[in-house]
């Protein structure tokens, strides 16, 4: 069965450092998403991406965040200067034709900022 | 006020019991999703509904669009069903390019 893969599974970084979280969505999917879940809290939307551009972003997704689909298969989330409060599980998801379609999630990247 | 509310927040039951988890939402939606999150953190899609009822094995999901309410039922529950169950909606209109999540229901099934 096709799946969304995320790397790394766990990343520890120093405050102020840049991190790049990587995702390989399912190959025939057109919509890509990043969500995050702070420990003990609900999953929150960060950004959606379609047709090589951001289609929607949340208030969380400020200038410190960026997304890219550099080579037609990978989908990356970059945090330029990490803060302690960026510590969370980050989930990549993809769907075939939008958020009303079945969403397939990666296993997540646990980011710890120290 | 949260757009998606789940109840109960925690549920403990004995193996074999019939389980019901409820989800209420306050916005117009194009679809509602039931997801399962295991202790390791991974999220798996169980159902996507826009009307009526769906069944997959021992799991049944229903939705009432007029009442903005959905339920997830588990028949003959088993310890391996222990997980967090999350309701999420795809809003209609502005803000439609995302899922909005409930806080999850932590289910524990004891043998």
What's the pLDDT score for residue A2?
82
Residue-wise pLDDT for B98-108, tens only, equals: 999 999 999 99
CA A58 to chain B, closest CA, distance in angstroms equals: 9
Strand pairing category for B105-110 and B10-14:
parallel
What's the pLDDT score for residue B4?
97
CA B40 to chain A, closest CA, distance in angstroms equals: 8
For the record, the structure tokens of B100 come out as 């909005």
Q: For residue B58, count other CB atoms closer than 10 A to its CB.
A: 14
Residue pair B111/B91 in contact (Cβ under 8 Å)? The answer is: no
Residues of A in contact with B87 (CB under 8 A): none
SS3 A86: helix
Residue B41 has pLDDT above 90, yes or no: no
Give mean pLDDT, residues A70-96: 95
Most confident stretch, A85-99, B30-44, B73-87: B73-87
Confidence of residue A71 (pLDDT cuts 50, 70, 90): confident
Residue-wise pLDDT for A23-65, tens only, equals: 999 999 999 999 999 999 999 999 999 988 999 999 999 999 9
User: Do B33 and A103 make contact, defined as CB atoms within 8 angstroms?
Assistant: yes
């Amino acid at each position: 069965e096709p799946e969304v893969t995320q790397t790394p599974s766990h990343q520890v970084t120093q405050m102020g450092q840049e991190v790049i979280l990587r995702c390989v969505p399912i190959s025939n999917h057109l919509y890509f998403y990043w969500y995050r879940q702070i420990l003990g809290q609900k999953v929150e939307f960060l950004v959606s991406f379609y047709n090589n551009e951001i289609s929607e972003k949340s208030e969380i997704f400020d200038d410190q965040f960026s997304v890219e689909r550099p080579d037609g298969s990978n989908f990356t989330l970059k945090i330029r200067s990490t803060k302690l409060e960026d510590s969370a599980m980050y989930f990549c998801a993809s769907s075939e034709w939008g958020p009303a379609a079945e969403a397939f999630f990666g296993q997540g990247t646990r980011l710890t900022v120290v | 006020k949260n757009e998606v509310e789940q109840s109960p927040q925690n549920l403990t039951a004995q193996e074999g019991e019939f389980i019901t988890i409820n989800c209420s939402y306050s916005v117009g939606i194009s679809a509602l999703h039931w997801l399962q999150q295991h202790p390791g953190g991974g999220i798996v899609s169980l159902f996507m509904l826009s009307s009526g009822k769906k069944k997959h094995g021992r799991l049944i999901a229903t939705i009432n669009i007029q009442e903005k309410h959905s339920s997830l039922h588990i028949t003959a529950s088993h310890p391996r069903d222990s997980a967090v169950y999350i309701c999420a909606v795809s809003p209609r209109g502005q803000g439609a390019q995302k899922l909005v999540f409930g806080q999850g229901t932590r289910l524990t099934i004891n043998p």
